[in-house]
């Protein structure tokens, strides 16, 4: 049988000098019915690359005869032990979800590292506005863990009731609001807009679906008076 192809994405990522690795599954556990945490041996991946908040890799997920790349965030990466976890927000029937649910110890999956980067904003912001959903929660948790007492206002979009039970790395300086996903993200955009204030001096970090992310950037500029440099935004999935 021929090896599954990475297709056009594979060629582009190779041209951009993405670094290739292989992960091996150690085990998995459900955090909720809709959230699965898989543990991996990372091989040499963490030998080469310094760990940073929101660090992500591209997993090559099997889909028929093809491999398709999907971004996933490293959770508790441990370079010394050469391990990491990845948390999968499950949506049935989708390739990454089905792969994660079927994963058993000893299974392997290819991964490429390209594009992950992080710098803390300078000068230090007086506070953070953080907006995401269950796909970006692992990245948000890594961000909140590094805040060191800086206040953060966090909005998280949920799709399943039990999403609201997912652990959030909140401190006494973090205010978390869960908002139900309605109208393809419009409910979240409205909730954030309704809470608007002059946030000059703060930094915003946004990662929802691509369309919602774009709309939230508009709200942050128009209603929170943040300029583009004070906003870090990335669409995490395509609706
Ligand atoms: C930098 C980065 C880091 C990421 N980290 C994580 C992570 O740690 N954990 C994680 O779960 N996801 C993470 N994501 C998002 C993940 O890559 C996407 O959700 C991806 O689409 C999942 O692939 P799939 O094969 O399950 O679904 P796809 O085949 O890509 O999509 C199939 C269908 O599912 C829908 N869909 C996809 N994702 C979601 C979702 N999250 N909620 C609802 N519907 C969805 C799509 O709209 C589409 O209709 C990250 C993305 C990026 C860019």
pLDDT by residue for the chain (239 residues), tens only, comes to 567 888 888 888 887 778 999 999 999 999 999 999 999 999 999 998 899 999 999 999 999 999 999 999 999 999 999 999 999 999 999 999 999 999 999 999 999 999 999 999 999 999 999 999 999 999 999 999 999 899 999 999 999 999 999 999 999 999 999 999 999 999 999 999 999 999 999 999 999 999 999 999 999 999 999 999 999 999 999 99
Regarding the beta carbon of 236 and ligand 1, being less than 6 Å apart is answered yes
What tokens were used for 95? 């390739």
Residue 78 and residue 42: Cα distance in Å, rounded?
9
Residue 186 and residue 206: Cα distance in Å, rounded?
15
Alpha-helix residue ranges (DSSP H) falling in the chain: 7-15, 45-48, 95-102, 137-145, 186-194, 210-222
- The pLDDT of residue 1 is 57
Residue 173 and residue 151: Cα distance in Å, rounded?
5
Q: Identify the CATH homologous superfamily for domain 7-113.
A: Translation factors (2.40.30.10)
Name the DSSP letter for residue 185.
G
- The pLDDT of residue 148 is 86
What tokens were used for 171? 């401190």
| CATH assignment, 127-237 | 3.40.50.80
Of 191, 162, 169, nearest in space to 179 by CA: 191
Residues of the chain with CATH 2.40.30.10: 7-113
Nearest residue CA, atom 1 of ligand 1?
71
Regarding the beta carbon of 223 and ligand 1, being less than 6 Å apart is answered no
Name the DSSP letter for residue 122.
S
Regarding the beta carbon of 113 and ligand 1, being less than 6 Å apart is answered no
Nearest residue CA, atom 31 of ligand 1?
94
Nearest residue CA, atom 32 of ligand 1?
94
Residues of the chain with CATH 3.40.50.80: 127-237
C-alpha distances (whole Å) from 169 to each of 136, 139, 154 are: 13, 11, 11
Residue 204 and residue 218: Cα distance in Å, rounded?
12
């Amino acid at each position: 049988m021929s090896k599954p192809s990475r297709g056009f994405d594979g060629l582009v990522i190779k041209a951009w000098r993405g670094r290739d690795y292989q992960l091996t599954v150690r085990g998995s556990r459900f955090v909720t019915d809709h959230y699965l945490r898989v543990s991996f041996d990372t091989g040499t991946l963490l030998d080469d690359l310094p760990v940073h908040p929101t660090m992500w890799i591209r997993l090559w997920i099997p889909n028929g005869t093809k491999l398709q790349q999907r971004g996933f965030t490293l959770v508790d990466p441990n370079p010394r032990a050469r391990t990491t976890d990845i948390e999968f927000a499950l949506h049935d029937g989708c390739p990454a979800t089905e792969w994660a649910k079927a994963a058993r110890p000893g299974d392997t999956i290819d991964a490429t590292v390209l594009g992950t980067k992080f710098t803390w904003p300078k000068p230090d912001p007086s506070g953070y506005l953080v907006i995401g959903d269950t796909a970006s929660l692992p990245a948000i948790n890594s961000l909140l863990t590094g805040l060191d007492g800086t206040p953060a206002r966090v909005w998280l979009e949920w799709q399943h009731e039990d999403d609201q039970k997912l652990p959030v790395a909140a401190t006494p300086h973090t205010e978390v609001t869960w908002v139900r996903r309605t109208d393809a993200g419009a409910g979240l955009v409205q909730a954030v807009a309704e809470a608007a204030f002059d946030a000059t001096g703060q930094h915003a970090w946004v990662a929802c679906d691509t369309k919602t992310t774009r709309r939230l950037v508009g709200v942050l500029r128009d209603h929170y008076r943040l300029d583009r440099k004070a906003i870090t935004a990335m669409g995490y999935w395509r609706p």
